[in-house]
Structure 1
């Protein structure tokens, strides 16, 4: 495994750089101590549109902020799940804005979030501003990772265009004479060479599964850097990659190295296995099962 860098990479792609840390790196315990506050704030709440709320459903500013944070958390988890299930590097989405949402906590302190949000195309060079709207139900099992998700998105990239772009990428990868061996994407200046953009997008596609599996009510993740990638020549139809990626974990501000093995073929389910080097909680360090989701998702081109 790669050595943990002293700090996150110097810079990210300009349009997708995560926000600066809100404070110094802290232990997970500090995050967990916030859990009772959030659960109390959400207990029995039926929220109006995100960021709204009145005296009856948001007793104070702090409660409203916690509510908005949970809606954002649920939207990010839903998109990780959606990207993984779609299995298409050309159709990756990122969160644009949460339009409305509702959160409920049951007596077991399990949280159900229903929300509606808009999305952007992940690749800023695609030239499409808004890809449409998603509605989702996200179920957080107390503080456990891997929330259950049902998500429906509309106004996707036209199906034939998406299939064509994926197949062009696939044939390019299969025709490489020498197995790919690349280090550090983006580079030390935060730049991704256009020729390496498909490699980054495939890594983000695979990491979507990892980030969904590791997300909780209070922790979310962003792929910060690829520190190594190897493509394996196989006789199978799929393309086969080993990635080592660095995940930025919010709110602890830790950088977590993960090794991801993925096999991809256009139009078929993505296969993912991974192992992450947890810094403080090694008992959660691996996800060894093949990438597959237990909750349904719908791809709607309307």
Structure 2
């Protein structure tokens, strides 16, 4: 992985990926006691940043390989990003999804033309093995959700936008809090900012009980979560940091921040009230860290990603009741 791959991805996604806004609200500043800026990737195509990596990876394939189709595994957002990119190129997409993924995400993936194959992650069925076997059987190209260079490069385009938008506001120093599962978005943004805005320091943000990246950065070795299922923040529940992403995060990121599921729900409600955007639980964890753990950061300005907004109505309604 290198910065040149991110700039190449930026050229390929131009005209296909939205330049999402950097939002603010005095009310959020007051809660955090610092200036809060929010990168609203929930307004990206398919409702999450994953469309960046999906388009980047599919567009990077040579034509002969691409036309055979692609396969991916995902709890929902990468699934929809890959399915949408594949549909745009007119190629097949097979998506392996956990059976307990939100119904909205499974339905959304199917609506985008993806063939969905379900697995039981609570029983520790291995999605990687399922994916590799299906890829071999059907001649499909496997596009991993975070441990894939072209996916990371696509996510890095979000970092390029953050640097540009922050500069437009006169911000050159900030703590960047990124919703983190396997680390694709975190490492992509970190690579982009290291080259374009060195005064900004990236921190992964995770939910309590699934803070493998924070623990790994502290210990210096890849730590595993005790479980991958059952948490509210389904979008960022991964077994452990990626083989590719962890060295990048170790080199470029500051300590990880952790918020509770209750804080994530409160952040969802506050984002809706003050920014008028819809965030899913995993997509709101960075904002939760910014609002309720700002004292753990050094800069006067915090930029937090809302990485996705694909949330079931019932889950969103419960979050709104926290206000």
TM-score (norm 2): 0.28
TM-score (norm 1): 0.29
More helix by share: 2
More strand by share: 1
